[in-house]
Amino acid sequence: MLDVTLLLAVFAFSFLVGYFLILRVPPRLHTPLMSMTNAVSGVTILGALLIFAADAGGVEKLLGGAAIALAAFNLVGGFAITDRMLRLFKRKE
C-alpha cells in the first residue's frame, strides 16, 4: 500500500508544480508548450504500459488504465490542435 501512496503523492506534487508553471507561460508560447506536453503524454503512456507489464495489483492496473486513456486523449488532441495551428502558417496556393 505504501507504493500506491508514494505514487499518488508524486502525482499530486507534479500536478501542482506543472499547474503553477503553466500559469506563468505567456499565451504566445502555448503552441511550443503543447508540443512538449505531447511528449510528456507519450512518456506517461509508456510508463502506464510498464505497469501492465509488471506484476501489479488491481488498483495499480486501474490507475494505469486511466493514465493510458487520459494521456492518449491529451496526445491525440494536442496533435490535432498543433496541426491546426501549423496549417495557419502555410501559404495559400
* pLDDT for position 65: 84
Residue 45 CB neighbours (<10 A): 19
* pLDDT for position 76: 86
Rounded to whole angstroms, what are the CA distances from 5 to 1, 8, 31, 70?
Answer: 6, 5, 34, 20
What is the band of 7 on the pLDDT scale with cuts at 50, 70, 90?
Answer: confident
The residue written with cell numbers 508514494 in the block is 6
Domain boundaries defined on the chain: 2-88
Residue 62 in grid coordinates: 486501474
Per-residue pLDDT tens digits for 24-78:
777 766 666 676 777 778 888 887 888 777 777 788 788 888 888 888 888 888 7
Residue 15 in grid coordinates: 500536478
Whats the size of the chain, residue-wise?
93
